[in-house]
Amino acid sequence: MSQSVPPPPKSGNPFAAGPGTDPAGQPQPFPQYPVQPPAPARNNLVLGLLAAFGAALVAAGAYGGIAGAIDREVGYAAVGVGLLVGFLAGKVGGRNPVLPFVAAVIAAGAVYLGQLVTIAVLLDKLGEGSFAEIFFQNFGGVMELWKLAADGMTYVFIAIGAVAAFAGARKGAA
């Protein structure tokens, strides 16, 4: 009776023939090693800052839209803004020691910008004009309204966003 499978190598070790050969000792065109994927780009401060800035713009719009829709600010939303900004900065930027501090400043600015968006959304709901008209053409007036409406909790929300961004940047880089 004929054998359909070649006999095993004489040494008993199927890998004794070395790289570039199959277990039967036949040469292979390419070695059959697992291919390692390229390492992700890490420790890039500029990319981390760009990611933080982009996340800050998106998060500020969402923060202001949500707060304007429900007619109040929510502390958890400020935490979400900070975590999003910080985590993305840390994940993209890596373990640069400056990044958590810069992410905290960017997140504080994002919460502030979100509060300005909230004022513009509320004025839009009152019929004072469209959001784009209020926010872009009368930005100085929106900032003056923010100064008049700012109280202790306004600054607490900004601080909460900054602290969350600092923690998120450290966690994202880990």
Q: What would the mean pLDDT of 69-77 be, rounded to a whole number?
A: 87
Write out the E strands in 5-162: none
pLDDT tens for residues 1-59? 566 776 655 565 655 555 555 556 566 665 556 667 776 656 788 999 999 999 999 99
List all residues 6 or more positions away from 60 whose beta carbon is below 8 Å from its beta carbon. Answer: 81, 110, 111, 113, 114, 117
Contacts of 52 (CB under 8 A, 6+ apart): 85, 86, 88, 89, 93, 102, 103, 106, 107, 165, 169
Q: What is the pLDDT of residue 23?
A: 58
- Is the pLDDT at 162 greater than 90? The verdict is yes
pLDDT for position 7 = 61
pTM of the model: 0.74
pLDDT at 20: 54
pLDDT value at position 22? 58
Residue 21 has what pLDDT? Answer: 56
Instruction: List the one residue out of 84, 152, 163, 149 whose CA is nearest residue 118.
Output: 149
Angstrom distance (rounded) from CA 130 to CA 121:
9
pLDDT digits (tens, 9 = 90+) for 98-151: 999 999 999 999 999 999 999 999 999 998 889 999 999 999 999 999 999 999
**Nearest residue to 63 via CA among 48, 79, 52, 47:** 79
pLDDT of residue 65: 93
CA atoms within 13 A on the CB side of 75: 7
